[in-house]
Amino acid sequence: MKFRRTLAEPEEPIELNLIPLIDIIMFLLIFFISTTSFVEEPGVQVDKPQAASAKQLDKSSIIFAVTSDGKIAYGGKEVGLGGVRPTVERLCAKEPLPVVIKADESARSGILIRVLDEAKLGGAKDVSIATEKG
């Protein structure tokens, strides 16, 4: 039996196979991307009022934004008051979803009430107003 390695033996080159490592990294990347949940925030910046009873936003909700000058937006695009009900009806076709209205603190309450009413008429499960915890 020969246990010692002699100096005369040529050293074999070390080969590092990177393909399994790349496969594992790709698998982990796909896993984390597919399990991450994204909350769709409207692209309109509003200054929300503060409330002590504020709760975390539900991930599967329809979010409308009401700006201080009375414009209504969904997903960063202006839909106007006439677009609230059709948007809610289209998104609630399979199952009723909650609607969250992000209204600017200086928005008129009349517009806010009309958006709330249109969302309810569109078939929303629950309509609430977004606030900041204060």
User: What pLDDT shows up at residue 94?
Assistant: 85
In a domain, residue 31? The reply is no
For the stretch 6-39, pLDDT in tens is 665 667 777 778 888 899 999 999 988 888 766 5
In a domain, residue 30? The reply is no
Q: Where are the beta strands (DSSP E) in 1-134?
A: 50-51, 62-66, 72-74, 77-78, 99-103, 127-129, 132-133
Name the band, by pLDDT with cuts 50, 70 and 90, for residue 69: confident
CATH number of the domain bearing residue 77:
3.30.420
In a domain, residue 110? The reply is yes
Rounded-to-integer distance, Cα 118 and Cα 124, Å? 9
Q: Is the pTM of this model over 0.85?
A: no
User: What pLDDT shows up at residue 7?
Assistant: 60
In a domain, residue 16? The reply is no
47 vs 111, residue with greater confidence: 111
Rounded-to-integer distance, Cα 66 and Cα 107, Å? 7
Range of the domain at 54: 50-133
Q: For the chain, what is the domain count? A: 1
